[in-house]
């Protein structure tokens, strides 16, 4: 199979899964209306829309992928900063974050400038953001304000950008198949989230972290995580990994994704919100969907780069 055929095959599988979920939703609705079923149906409908967007951007090629992920970062940063109290003195660093850092970080991927991509935000943006805020002359909560902007930029721009950065990796015997690796990451992360939700609703007894994330259960995490690892392992043929290695990589993605979901849920609650936003019907905001990707993408990127670079 060529890379193109593999892409089509995987998307076909996803469409099949969604069709199944849609039918299950219809059947559940026929047995009776409830808030949980309504939310399930809304989530599945939103998934159709998200998969359609991804299918189009995978079809159009790497540039479309980068543009879509740059927009994802932009919207995620927007949600993060909307919930974060800032002061007029933060206007310049925030304008730079939205209008300069986001496009520049993704341009570095397009330019395949790995060295600068890896340090641009953690070194230069980290130092520049507080320096830009200094000129407003407002020292009230200066450290807290600076930290929140830096944190938002790191998570929503730097971390998320590692997903499409998979496209620039040069791996042994895996030329021109970067898009498949990106699809693999997204599929395992999102499937892990979905399966944790399904297993949690069906078998959930013990809450994992009741204060931070009331809907997460131990049964959901273990059952959903194992299911996602099984699917990830069975997709080894679209990756540079052997089946066993693919299972290990999926396990890594699942663990990082779960930790990301928990950590960002704690951040969200410390900002006084239940959802990051309202952009995606049934899911909440962009960050409610990307929280696991924020943690999984950079770790998966560097592990793959370390072990499989050619």
Per CB under 8 A, residues contacting another protein are: 74, 78-79, 81-88, 91, 94-95, 98-99, 271-273, 277-278
CB 98 within 8 A of CB 74: yes
Q: How far is the CB of 89 from another protein (least distance, A)?
A: 9
Q: Is the dihedral of CA 250, 42, 278, 48 positive or negative?
A: positive
Which CB sits closer to another protein, 17 or 68? 68
Task: Say if CB 268 and CB 152 are below 8 A apart.
Answer: no
CB of residue 91 to another protein, shortest distance in Å: 5
Cβ closer to another protein: 92 or 154? 92
* CA dihedral (157, 257, 21, 32) positive or negative: negative
The DSSP result for 206-247, as a single string, is SBS-TTT-TT-BHHHHHHHHHHHHHHHHHTGGGSSS-HHHHH
Structure tokens at 159: 């971390």
CB nearer to another protein: pick between 104 and 191: 104
The SS3 call for residue 82 is helix
Nearer to another protein, 54 or 81 (CB): 81
* Closest approach of another protein to the CB of residue 272, in Å: 4
* 155/168 with CB nearer another protein: 155
At its nearest, how many Å lie between another protein and the CB of residue 77?
A: 9
How near is the Cβ of 94 to another protein at its closest, in Å? 5
Q: How far apart are CA 174 and CA 3, in angstroms?
A: 10
């Amino acid at each position: 199979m060529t890379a193109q055929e593999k892409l089509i095959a995987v998307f076909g599988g996803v469409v099949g899964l969604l069709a199944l979920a849609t039918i299950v939703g219809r059947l559940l609705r026929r047995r009776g209306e409830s808030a949980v079923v309504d939310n399930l149906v809304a989530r599945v409908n939103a998934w159709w829309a998200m998969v359609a967007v991804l299918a189009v951007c995978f079809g159009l090629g790497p540039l479309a992928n980068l543009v879509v992920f740059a927009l994802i970062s932009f919207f995620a940063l927007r949600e993060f900063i909307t919930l974060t109290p800032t002061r007029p003195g933060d206007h310049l660093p925030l304008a730079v974050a939205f209008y300069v850092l986001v496009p520049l970080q993704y341009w570095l991927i397009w330019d395949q400038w790995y060295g600068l991509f890896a340090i641009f935000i953690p070194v230069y943006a980290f130092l520049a953001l507080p320096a830009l805020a200094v000129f407003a002359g407002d020292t009230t909560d200066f450290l807290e304000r600076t930290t929140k902007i830096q944190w938002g930029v790191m998570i929503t721009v730097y971390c998320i950008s590692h997903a499409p950065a998979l496209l620039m990796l040069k791996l042994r015997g895996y030329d021109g198949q970067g898009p498949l690796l990106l699809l693999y990451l997204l599929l395992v992360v999102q499937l892990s989230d979905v399966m944790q939700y399904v297993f949690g609703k069906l078998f959930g007894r013990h809450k994992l972290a009741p204060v931070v994330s009331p809907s997460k259960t131990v049964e959901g995490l273990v059952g959903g995580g194992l299911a996602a690892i099984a699917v990830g392992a069975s997709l080894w043929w679209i990756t540079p990994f052997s089946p066993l290695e693919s299972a290990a990589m999926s396990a890594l993605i699942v663990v990082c994704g779960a930790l990301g979901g928990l950590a960002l849920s704690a951040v969200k609650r410390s900002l006084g919100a239940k959802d990051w936003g309202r952009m995606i019907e049934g899911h909440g905001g962009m960050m409610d969907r990307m929280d696991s990707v924020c943690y999984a993408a950079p770790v998966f990127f560097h592990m793959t780069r370390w072990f499989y670079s050619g």
